[in-house]
Amino acid sequence: MIKNPLIFAATSDVAGKMRGKSFPVSDLEKRTQKGVGWTPTNVMITCFDAIADSPFGALGDLLLIPDESAGVALDFKDGGPVERFMLGDIVDLDGQPWEFCTRSLLKAALDRLKAAGGISLISAFEHEFQFKSGDDQPGQAYGHEGFAQRRAFAETLMAALDQSGLASDTFMKEYGANQYEVTNDPAAGHQSADQAVILREVTRMTAKRFNEDVTFTPIRDPDGVGNGVHIHISFLDESGAPATYDKDGVAGMSKITGSFIAGVLKYLDSIIALTAPSDVSYLRLTPHRWSAAYNNLGFRDREASVRICPVTATDPSSIARQYNFEYRAADAAASPYLALAAIIHAGAQGIEDAMPAPNVTEEDLSVLSPEELKSRGYVRLPETLELALQRFESNETVCGWFPADFAAVYTAHKRGEIAHLNDKDTSARCAAYEEVY
Ligand code: GLU
Ligand code: MG
């Protein structure tokens, strides 16, 4: 059959969905200059495709400019089509970043971090997901049999990620029913978020080639565990040397790391609407699910919102290279760009305010009374999306990190999403989200 291959120019939007338009490969040079047309009201398309109340109506024009450095051309060599897509930035007709372009918002946050602390960011997104098919066989948590059942898929996935420019790290059978985890190596600046978008898409594509469906939904079964996105973070100083670790710092945190994490914890309840942004995200963010329920820093504690991760090295310079912390209160309903931007802004605020390093917990905070929690500076994170949105929109500092209309547009979008779920019970809500993420 004759064909003219197409490249899909894409944004990972406010709903955490990859959307865009395609153009013929032969037009690549032109399109990387001129982009493809885009519409402001698209920012109000929720994950369920209902359009929330839009301040833009039918007005306005934008351009989505594909970035060749975030391009994928993936040939599974199974006789099926080559998958071609390219992530990009949305600009207005004057070429300025559009205020709701998630990738541009992340770039602005990275600039702020550099100005605040003279540091650049290295990060990696660790993803959990579930196959929609397969029996919930007991005894498969972290198991070899569970792994072997999906070995063929996993080996193709490793090759597909490799072809897509991601250095694959590990693949494993996770704890939950039909749940798996895939990790890839860290990358600099906005590239790690590009890679997270690519990883989700490529994992879905790979599953489809095996006639399977996977979901990254925050939680599939209200009685089970959730699918987390853990964002691992470290810093480099201006000379490119590791800047996250100090052997004399609290739990090994350098001064700048301490201030960054202190900022993240201080603003966590107000940014969580951006990092865990679905209605069902708050079923996952409950105690004893190895996710995150309080704004605490844990030392190797998987129930903490921010966790200092283990290192395998023993000499100081190797420890400094490996040392990283992870933000655990995120999920795949969030665009990786937006989640990372929110975390960076909170951290940069902590650096600008020279906040001292937080205390480190190694205990179960859920057994403490509200008074005890408060006296130690901890809060229970919002327990619904609506509460999370209220914390976001009422926190002037946090809203001020984003363009003027961002909070109003974001909360209107999310309230449109909630309205769509109005008549649904908990399991119907979970089912709705697993269809779209
Ligand atoms: N599934 C857990 C979550 O929702 C994480 C388990 C783990 O520590 O890998 O974040
Ligand atoms: Mg895991």
The CATH number fitting domain 6-97, selected from 1.10.3720.10, 3.40.50.450, 3.40.640.10, 3.10.20.70? 3.10.20.70
351 C-alpha to ligand 1 centroid (Å): 28
**Ligand 1 neighbours by CB, cut-off 6 Å:** 128, 225-226, 228, 284, 289-291, 302, 328
What confidence tens digit (pLDDT) does each residue in 151-160 have? 999 999 999 9
List the chain domain ranges: 6-97, 106-436
pTM as predicted: 0.97
| Probe target for ligand 1 pocket from 125, 126, 127, 128, with the most ligand atoms within 8 Å of CB | 128
CATH classification (class only), 106-436: alpha beta
Question: Quick one: how far is CA 98 from the chain centroid?
Answer: 20
Report pLDDT for 134: 84
DSSP element (H, E) containing 390:
helix 385-394
329 C-alpha to ligand 2 centroid (Å): 13
| Probe target for ligand 1 pocket from 275, 289, 300, 327, with the most ligand atoms within 8 Å of CB | 289
The residues with which 298 forms a beta bridge, in sequence order, are 307, 361
Shortest-distance atom of ligand 1 to CA 284: 4
Please give the Cα distance from 130 to 93 (Å, whole number): 41
Which band of pLDDT confidence, cut at 50, 70 and 90, is reported for residue 302? confident
Question: Mean pLDDT, to the nearest integer, of 291-307?
Answer: 91
Question: Mean pLDDT, to the nearest integer, of 310-325?
Answer: 93
Question: Mean pLDDT, to the nearest integer, of 32-40?
Answer: 95
Please give the Cα distance from 130 to 149 (Å, whole number): 13
The residue with tokens 């951006």 is 274
Shortest-distance atom of ligand 1 to CA 292: 10
Report pLDDT for 405: 94
Judged by average pLDDT, the poorest of 24-38, 46-60, 77-91 is 46-60
Burial 283-321 (b: 16+ CB within 10 A, else e): bbbbeebebbbbbbbbbebebbbbbbeeeeeeeeeebbe
Please give the Cα distance from 42 to 40 (Å, whole number): 5
Pick from 106, 89, 73: which is nearest to 33 by CA?
89
Shortest-distance atom of ligand 1 to CA 219: 4
Let me know if the fold of 6-97 is the same as that of 106-436: no
Residue 274 has pLDDT above 90, yes or no: yes
| Probe target for ligand 1 pocket from 129, 225, 381, with the most ligand atoms within 8 Å of CB | 225
Residue nearest to atom 5 of ligand 1 (CA): 290
86 C-alpha to ligand 2 centroid (Å): 28
